[in-house]
């Protein structure tokens, strides 16, 4: 009888352990599916491996823009040489899309003239990232607002 009780206890314990492992695996799969289904691979790549993040020493201009609705904040810095943006960097506190759009934005700004930089829009950033769902489009708008503010700061000469 004692052996049966120990065996039943061992089986019960093993099932609970297996159930916990299954729940953790299911949760990880659900999280992966949610992010993979909501975000394109381009968004996830820029979010996981942001390009040009950090401060930019000797920047020609630095701006900070925010989205008062969600609280995302983007600080964008650029160095201008001979009428072209030679370097751009960002710092962002925000959602996946805001970080991905800021990363993409710095790549698109580098090497462009100030006139060419004006063609960067929220729609063009979204398109370059595979199209953003309406619920996450605010990240592209934040980046576009930063470009506008940056170009205005550069043209006013206030760095």
- Give residue 37's pLDDT: 62
pLDDT at position 130 over 70: yes
Residues 47-65: what's their mean pLDDT? 97
77 neighbors 88 (Cβ within 8 angstroms): yes
Cα 25 to Cα 42: distance, rounded to the nearest angstrom: 25
Tokens 């470009």, residue?
A: 147
Q: How confident is the model at residue 157 (pLDDT cuts 50, 70, 90)?
A: confident
The DSSP secondary-structure symbol of 39 reads S
Cα 75 to Cα 130: distance, rounded to the nearest angstrom: 24
Q: pTM for the whole thing? A: 0.76
Helix or strand or coil: residue 50? coil
């Amino acid at each position: 009888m004692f052996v049966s009780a120990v065996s039943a206890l061992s089986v019960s314990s093993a099932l609970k352990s297996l159930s916990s492992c299954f729940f953790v695996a299911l949760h990880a799969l659900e999280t992966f599916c949610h992010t993979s289904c909501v975000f394109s691979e381009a968004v996830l790549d820029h979010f996981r491996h942001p390009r040009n993040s950090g401060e930019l020493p000797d920047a020609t201009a630095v701006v900070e823009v925010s989205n008062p609705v969600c609280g995302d904040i983007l600080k964008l810095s650029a160095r201008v040489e001979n009428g072209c943006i030679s370097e751009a960097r960002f710092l962002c506190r925000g959602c996946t899309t805001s970080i991905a759009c800021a990363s993409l934005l710095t790549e698109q700004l580098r090497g462009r003239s100030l006139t060419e930089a004006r063609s960067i829009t929220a729609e063009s950033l979204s398109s370059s990232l595979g199209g953003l769902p309406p619920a996450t489009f605010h990240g592209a708008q934040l980046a576009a607002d930063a470009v506008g503010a940056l170009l205005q700061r550069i043209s006013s000469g206030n760095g």
